[in-house]
């Protein structure tokens, strides 16, 4: 029985239409008839189509790598934003409890990272902490993303007195 490997061969009475072989091959890609060779080996193909897979791979590889880098940069930005928000919330809670600004900055930098900048502000009885930092990761140095998070809390010591 001749035909493409890894294909389904069915016995069909084809009569006069196909006198060479009574087998009908289903599922073979590029099968041209008996005597055709396997496509994966490259035998039996024209010379100009043998390097097509390599050329397609060379064109798509940079696009796939760029997409992967963008996904990693987006994930790094998301993680950085979550760290900044957690640090701002913890700083606002510490500030509302009556901790001094140096302690608040130490708490925020512990949670947000050592490179984060912290701004403490008081607006009446509301105390706010703003935290800013650049995005890390492989593309963080080349793309100037500055993320910020702000949290505000009502001062507990001012309400008690």
> Of 121, 117, 140, 137, which Cα lies nearest the Cα of 129?
121
The mean pLDDT value of the chain amounts to 77
pLDDT score for 6? 52
pLDDT score for 137? 72
- The widest CA-to-CA distance across the chain, in whole angstroms, is 105
- Sort 129 into a burial class: Cβ within 10 Å, 0-12 / 13-18 / 19+: buried
Of 111 and 1, which is predicted with more confidence?
A: 111
Percent of the chain with pLDDT over 90: 39
Per-residue pLDDT, averaged over 85-96, amounts to 94
How many other β-carbons are positioned within 10 Å of the β-carbon of residue 16?
Answer: 5
pLDDT score for 53? 77
3-state SS assignment for residue 77? helix
């Amino acid at each position: 029985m001749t035909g493409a490997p890894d294909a389904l061969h069915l016995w069909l009475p084809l009569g006069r239409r196909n006198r060479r072989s009574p087998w009908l091959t289903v599922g073979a890609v590029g099968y041209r008839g008996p005597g055709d060779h396997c496509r994966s080996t490259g035998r039996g193909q024209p010379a100009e189509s043998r390097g097509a897979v390599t050329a397609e791979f060379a064109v798509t590889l940079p696009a796939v790598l760029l997409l992967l880098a963008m996904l990693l940069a987006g994930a790094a930005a998301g993680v950085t934003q979550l760290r900044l928000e957690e640090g701002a919330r913890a700083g606002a809670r510490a500030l509302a409890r009556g901790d001094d600004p140096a302690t608040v900055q130490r708490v925020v930098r512990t949670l947000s990272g050592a490179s984060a900048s912290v701004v403490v502000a008081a607006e009446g009885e509301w105390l706010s902490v703003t935290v800013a930092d650049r995005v890390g990761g492989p593309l963080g140095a080349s793309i100037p993303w500055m993320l910020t998070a702000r949290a505000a809390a009502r001062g507990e010591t001012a309400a008690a007195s």
